[in-house]
Amino acid sequence: MKISIFSKYSNNQNIVETIKQEAMRFDFEIDDYNPDIIIYVGGDGTFLNAIQNNIDRLDDVTFLGVNNGSLGFFYDFCVDEIDEMFEMLDAGLLKTRRINLMQGVLDSGVEQLEFYVFNEVRLASMTNILKCDIYIDEQHLETFVGNEVVISTSCGSTGLNRSIGGAIIDPRLDVYQITPIAPLNSKVYSTLNSPLIVPASSKIHIKNYVKEARLSFDYISLDDDVYNLDIYKSNLFVNVLFKPEKSFIENVKGCFIK
């Protein structure tokens, strides 16, 4: 089995070297070009980076995380558990979870750009209040007026979505969540003040009326103007290795409750 190690920060070099030594001890091959498993070291931001850096070969790789002390919802192993991780990997005791990515198509008025999302998509105006029409499966939901709209996956519900008052959703539920930031309600405008959860089979269309609106997804920000945005379930999956006994509730308590 071939292994590659992904880390964003140079201060993780000692951890990377430890992983390489343990990998060789269990007769795993280090291969950065054609790995079977990508071991990512850091926090959840590192995981998102690892996905986007390997977006063209997601069918061929499986991800496994080592947390170096940052908040990590997609990690089952800490730095002092690297030997245990390899023992379980070598014995075939880890289970694989397939996580469907969300796909987006941005129309800038000049070109179309496709992108893939693990956590969330954000649409915000840089200089004015955001004003856009939101459609669900071609049905008009509302004309949103406010600061920002966030569309998150079930896995992404524990990220920015949670910080802005969205619900935490068990990733076994295949849904998307549309969460407003500072919606404007007045005699002129009336928008939802709460998150809306829809099946992931839904197609979300947003028609924007503010020229300076910009889009970001996961850790990536785009400079293109956003005139139209389509969000729907993609055909791409991320495969992640986990301890079989670790539950979603344990993850929630471990990350958010003292």
Cα atoms in the 13 Å half-sphere on the side-chain side of 70: 20
Q: Is 111 exposed, middle or buried (0-12, 13-18, 19+ CB in 10 A)?
A: exposed
Distance CA 235, CA 3 (A): 25
If we measure between CA atoms, which residue out of 141, 151, 144, 146 comes closest to residue 215? 151
Whole-angstrom Cα distance, residue 251 to residue 74? 9
What is the rounded distance in angstroms from the CA atom of residue 49 to the CA atom of residue 220? 9
List alpha helices for 54-192, DSSP H. 82-90, 160-163
- Two tokens, residue 111: 């070109």
Q: Write out the catalytic residue numbers.
A: 44
- The alpha carbon of 180 is separated from its chain's Cα centroid by a whole number of angstroms, namely 18
